Structure 1
């Protein structure tokens, strides 16, 4: 089966400000209430999750995630209202791309794509 998959990446300079993985991370932070919990949920280290949050927060006009330091009551993280808005716009844009990507160009590329790569270029 041939799989043609389209994904949206929004760049900020050399960084990816938003993409499918960062969107999933924001959803996980909203669900778990922490960066470490979100990382566990997605199978990534706390360090990697924190790095992705840092990039997002540096790329947008306002932070997408805010953190509170740990204490006896525990710390945590939450997606800001602005982050929720950015995420909603990203998900809506992705849905529009997915819905509109079934035209003749999609069909032509799907037909031309191998289901698996050749073992070598000479095959």
Structure 2
């Protein structure tokens, strides 16, 4: 197993339908196969296609399916604090580091637009950010 994957506790697959529609099924399966078996996996998709269901079956253990409707109890919690920042490209990494450093007591979820961005952003961060 690749060393940097051994401490991953949560895998978030957002826009799973779009990932699969873009032809990344093989790559996604290869990534998942390198991750620890004991992890939480969250798979989000706007549609429930056969390929999304197949991915769920292969990557999730005892999956729970939730359908979110604006008025339902599964909608975004009103107390959830969400922060969105628009940052110039050349300042993004510095801004991310600063944000994480000032929010060490909080859990932070960072979305990246492609797999190619993960290692260049993740590797320079000190391991203490992930404990």
Q: Which has the higher helix share?
A: 1
TM over 0.5: no
Higher RCO (Cα < 8 Å, 6 or more apart) = 1
TM-score normalised according to structure 1 size: 0.28
Which of the pair has more CA radius of gyration?
A: 1
Q: Which has the higher strand share?
A: 1
TM-score normalised according to structure 2 size: 0.27
